[in-house]
Amino acid sequence: MSIGIAQIVVLLVAVQRLAEVAYAQRNTRRLFAEGATEHGARHYPLIVGLHAAWLAAIFFAVPIDAPVVWTLLGAYLLLQAARVWTIASLGRYWTTRVVTLAHAPLVRRGPYRFMRHPNYAIVALEIPLLPLAFAAWELALGFGAANLLVLAHRIRVEENALASRVTAKGR
């Protein structure tokens, strides 16, 4: 099977995401050991499935000779730097699930100084941006819209989970 630049990029993104999931699982186990609770666990498989389907769709639906829009691919790479900044800012509290530890402080450093949910903003941009970098506007539109629906629910779950900590801390 021949592969093109899109397929190579998808494989690299998949490796990145798997490394992130491993890091998140380690953090999640540690947080649970400290008494953390998970919120919205039922929607988590939907998020995983959406991201897996997004990568698979790009891998299989984008022709190997698809044109590369290098500026969009570059923008996607810049988003990955923002992603790393976001993950590093949360440190041991970063997970792919909504896990909250009652006595932990809310993070207000890094991109969290500027916005409440930088990771979700990054994901909302990268989901349509990557297929657009290979002129796959149909995938960008479909997965971008599906992701926004899932994120809307996810943000409500997270806001509810953090509400008591915001009130308790007087923030």
pLDDT band at 170 (very low <50, low <70, confident <90, very high): very low
The answer on pLDDT for 108 being more than 70 is: yes
The answer on pLDDT for 169 being more than 60 is: no
The answer on pLDDT for 113 being more than 70 is: yes
Q: What is the mean pLDDT of residues 115-126?
A: 97
The answer on pLDDT for 134 being more than 80 is: yes
Three-state SS for the chain is: CCCCHHHHHHHHHHHHHHHHHHHHHHHHHHHHHCCCEEECHHHHHHHHHHHHHHHHHHHHHCCCCCCCCHHHHHHHHHHHHHHHHHHHHHHHHCCCCEEECCCCCCCCCHHHHCCCCHHHHHHHHHHHHHHHCCCCHHHHHHHHHHHHHHHHHHHHHHHHHHHHHHHHHCC
Q: What is the CATH number of the domain that holds 43?
A: 1.20.120.1630
pLDDT band at 164 (very low <50, low <70, confident <90, very high): confident
Count of structural domains within the chain: 1
Look over the chain and give the mean of its residue pLDDT values, rounded to a whole number: 94
Domain containing 122: what range? Answer: 5-169
pLDDT band at 168 (very low <50, low <70, confident <90, very high): very low
List the beta bridge partners of residue 37. Answer: 100
pLDDT tens digits for range 18-76? 999 999 999 999 999 999 999 999 999 999 999 999 999 999 999 999 999 999 999 99
pLDDT of residue 166: 56
pLDDT band at 135 (very low <50, low <70, confident <90, very high): very high
Sign of the torsion angle spanned by Cα atoms 137, 139, 144, 149 = positive
